[in-house]
Amino acid sequence: MSVPEGWTPLDFGNRFDHLDTHFIEHVGPVYMRGADKERQLGFEVLPHMCNPAGICHGGMLMSVMDVGLAFILHNAMGKHVFTPSVSFNFDFVAPGQKGDFLICEGECTRHTKNTGFVSGRLIGKDGPVITGSGIMKITNIGFDDNAE
């Protein structure tokens, strides 16, 4: 499989100017599609993302869910700010097979001034691979979507 049409590499650009690179760049590539209030993350399961059994490593699945659900929270809030995880619960439903393209879907249950509640799943060709729900801290550390 290859990356489906409409997906572009996730690029944080200069949004975090204190970092030479972002964590997700080390485990990726991860892709994005959609505009404001509709952004989604997805990735193709590549060999370096797999565990000894040849399926996607749980740490990779949880990492993408963490960032993907932050995007869902940002979509609901209508702004992009740093939203570190406070708590997450994950359930591994099925293996993510090498070559599968997994897409993060979800919803924001609620957000207040300081806290966001999100839930979602990574979906593959045969359905959900992992589901999860989390609580995120909403900070006032923003970043410019037009940074290059």
In 3D space, the residue among 79, 87, 141, 92 whose CA is nearest the CA of residue 118 turns out to be 87
| 25: in domain | yes
| 57: in domain | yes
Reported as a pLDDT band with limits 50, 70 and 90, residue 16 is very low
Find out whether 121 and 102 touch, Cβ atoms under 8 Å: no
The pLDDT assigned to 14 comes to 52
Structure tokens at 31: 């892709």
The pLDDT assigned to 104 comes to 95
Which of 20-24, 25-29, 80-84 is modeled with the greatest confidence? 80-84
- Count: domains in the chain: 1
The pLDDT assigned to 18 comes to 46
pLDDT tens for 33-82 read 887 667 889 999 999 999 999 999 999 999 999 999 999 999 999 888 88
pLDDT, average across residues 97-107: 95
| pLDDT above 90 as % of the chain | 62
Structural domain boundaries enclosing 113? 8-137
| 108: in domain | yes
Strands 127-137 and 115-124: antiparallel
The model carries a pTM of 0.86
Cα within 13 Å of Cα(39), Cβ side: 26
CATH number at residue 119: 3.10.129.10
